[in-house]
Every structure is written in structure tokens, then in C-alpha cells.
Amino acid sequence: MDASDRIRKMQAKAIFTYYKLNVLDPSTCNTTTCESLGTNCVVNYPSYDEKNKVQIGKAACNSCSGACTC
């Protein structure tokens, strides 16, 4: 992992944290595990790239252990 990968991961964490606090509904969106956000979680992302960054940030924050660290 080089520096650009680390920067990309940190940016994805920040984007996911923003979505978790301001966009995602905690009653319908699963934000605490590495699984998908859930079928009832409807988010209109501005682009596929943004959706991908949210998913990468979610995986980085949760580190696939079940506890959200962001």
C-alpha cells in the first residue's frame, strides 16, 4: 500500500462518516458491519464513484469486525 492508497482510504472514511451522520437513516441502513447498507437503505448517490467511496469507507471504518470505528 503506497501513500496514494492510504490517502484514498482516509478520504473514503471521511465520506462514509459524512453519509452516516447526515444522509443515511440509521433505522433502515446498516452502518455497523461490513455487509451492504441493506435493501431498505435508499440513497441517491451523485455518481457511481461516490457510491464506491462510501462502500470503501464503510469497510475501512468497520474493519470487518462488526464495530464501527469512525
Contact 21, 57 (CB under 8 A): no
In a domain, residue 25? The reply is yes
In a domain, residue 54? The reply is yes
pTM (global) more than 0.85:
no
In a domain, residue 70? The reply is no
**How many domains, the chain?**
1
Query: Does residue 68 surpass a pLDDT of 70?
Result: no
What is the domain range of residue 23? 3-62
The residue among 66 and 48 whose pLDDT is bigger is: 48
- Grid cell 451523485 — which residue? 46
In a domain, residue 26? The reply is yes
- Alpha helices by DSSP H, listed for 23-65, are 48-62
Position 59 scores a pLDDT of: 83
Position 46 scores a pLDDT of: 93
In a domain, residue 68? The reply is no
In a domain, residue 34? The reply is yes
* pLDDT, average across residues 25-31: 80
- Which positions ≥6 away from 8 have C-beta within 8 Å? 56
